[in-house]
Amino acid sequence: MEILIINSGSSSLKYQLVDSTTGEAKAKGVADRIGIDGSFVKYVAVKNGKEVEVKKEQPIPNHEVAMDIVTTLLTDPEVGVIKNPEDIKAIGHRTVHGGEKFVQPTIITDEVIAEIERLIPISPLHNPASLEGIRAAQKLFTKATHVGVFDTAFHQTMPARAYRYAIPNEYYEKYGLRSYGFHGTSHKFVDAEARKYLNNPYLKNITIHLGNGASMAAVNQEGKCIDTSMGLTPLDGLIMGTRSGQLDPSVVFFLVEQLGLSLDQVKNLLNKKSGMIGLTGYSDARDVAALYRSGDANAALCYEMYGYRVRKFIGAYTAALNGVDSIVFTAGLGEHDALTRSFACKEMEFFGIKLDEKKNEELNHPTKPVEIQAADSRVKILIIPTNEEWQIAKEVVGLVK
């Protein structure tokens, strides 16, 4: 079955038409800069064995218009891959925050929409965008079953000792203030791929999703997440492209009380001006790597800090799992930046983690799972390309068959 996957952001709408059996993308692209000057739609498809690409620059005032343009391209006689919207039987909506209620893919109903709306106060950046995409797709694909696949779902197996904050109980009980974790679809996909590749369903596995946003998860022998690095929001945990990651909350008090910043300014500072960009002036690891190789001290410190934070979580999760069999690198940096992996694995011999630097360089950019550990490493070190769209498609098919 072919599943249309929608990933709706505040100013973008990414889409893929995926074969749920093979993971092949029949068409994919993005409507970008929605509601902003310079908006455009990119569309790439395979038709009659040939790749076709279309890019249109045009005003896109909202997600409904974006979805209409995407639908027109999908059904276009020249470049389209379906005849009409009724050909789409199921749509998987990547939905960032599902709270405690949504622990598995869920068919979207009015009640589900109301619950996603209820979660907006703890996900003000992501859930409104998800709702925009859902409503836009529902208007155009009236015959399809719409399914929400939640980024937080995989982490809902965490025990209370891992997800609760040590603040008064009422803030959890009334307002749901706790750690939820994100990137769950990616963590779930690569964890399952690792178990299949290593032919071991009982792995103690640490998954490391390193992109512009970055997170880690500890997955036990039953394949259940028992801890993850992001918290109430995607700001917590690892250093990221523009996010600070873990810091003392008193930094916020200092910025407000001593420097006179507003809460909105602090939110912007920690989410958009910190992390790699705060340390080096660049949020793209390729730029930071070029600086590092030129001998730039800030870039060197950035890599040291980035790798050190990953290693601290590996140590913590090894303790939480009472041992570790494998660690998995995935996503943009995890799959394509050998330097990041090198810093993340150094001085970890005590844990049985030893990288083969030659393999790490030579097996960069893999298209399938590869091993990059040294011959005497007790722990497997894998690079596994993530495929969140395929994971979403598989979960949607399981619900609508």
User: CATH assignment of 2-150?
Assistant: 3.30.420.40
User: What tens digit of pLDDT does each residue of 288-338 get?
Assistant: 999 999 999 999 999 999 999 999 999 999 999 999 999 999 999 999 999
Of 8, 158, 151, nearest to 91 (Cα)?
8
What is the DSSP code string of 137-205?
Answer: HHHH-TTSEEEEEETTGGGGG--HHHH--SS-HHHHHHH--S---S-HHHHHHHHHHHHHHTT-TT--E
**What pLDDT was estimated at residue 181?**
96
* Mean pLDDT, range 80-96, rounded to an integer: 91
Cα(221)–Cα(198) distance, rounded to whole angstroms?
A: 13
Same CATH fold assignment for domains 2-150 and 200-388: yes
For the chain, domain boundaries:
2-150, 200-388
**Domain 200-388 in this protein, CATH class:** alpha beta
Residue 121 confidence class, pLDDT cut points 50, 70, 90:
confident
pLDDT in tens, 227-258: 999 999 999 999 999 999 999 999 999 999 99
pLDDT tens figures, 27-38 = 999 998 888 889
Residues 6+ apart with CB under 8 A from 33: 11, 12, 39, 40, 60
Average pLDDT over the chain reads 94
Least confident of 13-22, 206-215, 286-295, 353-362: 13-22
pLDDT for 177: 95
Angle at 245 between CA 240 and CA 247, to 5 degrees: 150
What's the whole-number mean pLDDT along residues 383-394?
94
Indicate if the pLDDT at residue 381 is higher than 90: yes
The pLDDT, as a whole number, for residue 401 is 66
pTM exceeds 0.85: yes
Q: What are phi and psi of 225, to 5 degrees?
A: -70, 130
- Which residues are marked as active site? 151
Max Cα–Cα distance, the chain, nearest Å: 64
The rounded Cα 191 to chain-centroid distance in angstroms is 14
d(CA 360, CA 295): 22
